[in-house]
Structure 1
Amino acid sequence: MTKKHQTIKEIPALERPYEKCEIYGPGHLSDAELLAVVLRNGTKDKTAVELSREIFALHPYYQGLLGICHLSIEELRKISGIGNVKAIQILCIVELSKRLAATKAEKKLSFHSPKSIADYYMEGMRHLNREEMILIFFNGKNKVIKELKVSVGTVNQTVASPRELFVEAL
């Protein structure tokens, strides 16, 4: 009987994700190796790195890191070796990355600049499957008072009447 893959212990120490990270830093890890560190272990048939590559290939359109943003817990659990805990860990890492990007944009946020507003909302909205319209209320000093989702539309459009917007504002 021949083995299908190497176990993590059979991989040279400098090629293992944990050891590689410890010696060279996380910037030297591939995307699959970074995810493998989060997953911690694979299965009897796959290393954590191989499992990570399978996750990256799961989405039919978006591949790699971008694909993870478009996966649900149910889709992740279809992969042998991914249960509830690992699926939730993966989705929490995605959410942390979105919040990190939003926090970075928030520091530069100025409601006098359309680009800074776009940067602030982009990370949270770029991976949505449907268009959403958000109404932002701010005071005379350009400080946000309230944000309100007023419409969720289709893949490429959303509709809200001016009346709805004024009712909310008043």
Structure 2
Amino acid sequence: MKTIRDWPEGERPREKLLQRGPQALSDAELLAIFLRTGIPGKTAVDLARELLARFGSLRALLQADAKTFTACKGLGSAKYVQLQAALEMARRHLYESLQRGEALTSPQVTRAFLLRQLRDQPYEVFAALFLDTRHRLIAYEPLFRGTIDGASVHPREVARRALELNAAAVIFAHNHPSGDPSPSGADRQITARLVQALGLFDIRVLDHVVVGDGETFSFAEHGWL
């Protein structure tokens, strides 16, 4: 059986990435580079294609828990640990972009960060980006967990934390595990309460972003703030 080394150089995933960049690779080719080796009778690309077919998508594979992931032939605890480390590095890379103060002039990067943090949570998480007077990031913090309504999100606690951090502005975000980012009536009500509570301390609410399955809804962009 031919190995990847027997392929034309322009078709080998590693060489292709070096020559054309990672965006030129398919999901299977990117996964093959991560896997590094195949199993008897299958190249790393063959194994990657089989795994993608089994899980249904790259995202589903990346979301798999340790038990499901390591049950697949060709994968194990070492690969699972490596994958989780790579995913966490990606999250921290986005966070550092925000920390440098560049991202808040770019709604796209901010939304990408919030998507990465909240999209795959199995339950609702209410979080905040606390900003200074120049709208640079002070901290990103998940604040509440569970159904977002008046009983679970406490404006007093949010105001207390904003004052502790000496924040001048806040961007709120929470996810909808259903995948639909459309705000509910409760979302609008709690946002209004937060705006009112923080306004007492001259802390501006710049936006409330609802994260769905790959899509977001911005209160600010729809004129709801």
TM-score between both structures, scaled by the size of structure 1: 0.69
Q: Is the 8 A contact 1:69 1:127 kept in 2?
A: no
**Higher RCO, 1 vs 2 (CA within 8 Å, ≥6 residues apart):** 2
Q: Which of 142, 145, 151 is residue 149 of structure 1 equivalent to? A: 142
Q: Which of 128, 137, 146 is residue 135 of structure 1 equivalent to? A: 128
Output aligned runs, 1:5-154, within 5 Å.
6-8=1-3, 11-14=6-9, 15-21=11-17, 25-59=21-55, 63-103=56-96, 107-110=102-105, 117-153=110-146
Q: How many residues align?
A: 158
Q: Which amino acid aligns with 2:30?
A: L
RMSD, aligned α-carbons: 3.3
Q: Is the 8 A contact 2:5 2:12 kept in 1?
A: no
SS in 1 for 2:121: coil
Shift of residue 90 of structure 1?
2.3
Q: 1:117–1:47: structure 2 CA closer, same or farther, 3 Å change rule? A: closer
Deviations along 1:35-69, one digit per CA (max 9) or x if unpaired, are 2122110111432112212332344xxx4332234
Q: Which amino acid aligns with 1:107?
A: E
Q: 1:75–1:47: structure 2 CA closer, same or farther, 3 Å change rule? A: same
Percentage of pairs with the same residue: 30
Q: Distance in 2 between matches of 1:94 and 1:146?
A: 20
Q: 1:134–1:8: structure 2 CA closer, same or farther, 3 Å change rule? A: same
Unaligned 5+ segments in structure 1 are 1-5
Unaligned 5+ segments in structure 2 are 164-225
Shift of residue 169 of structure 1?
4.1
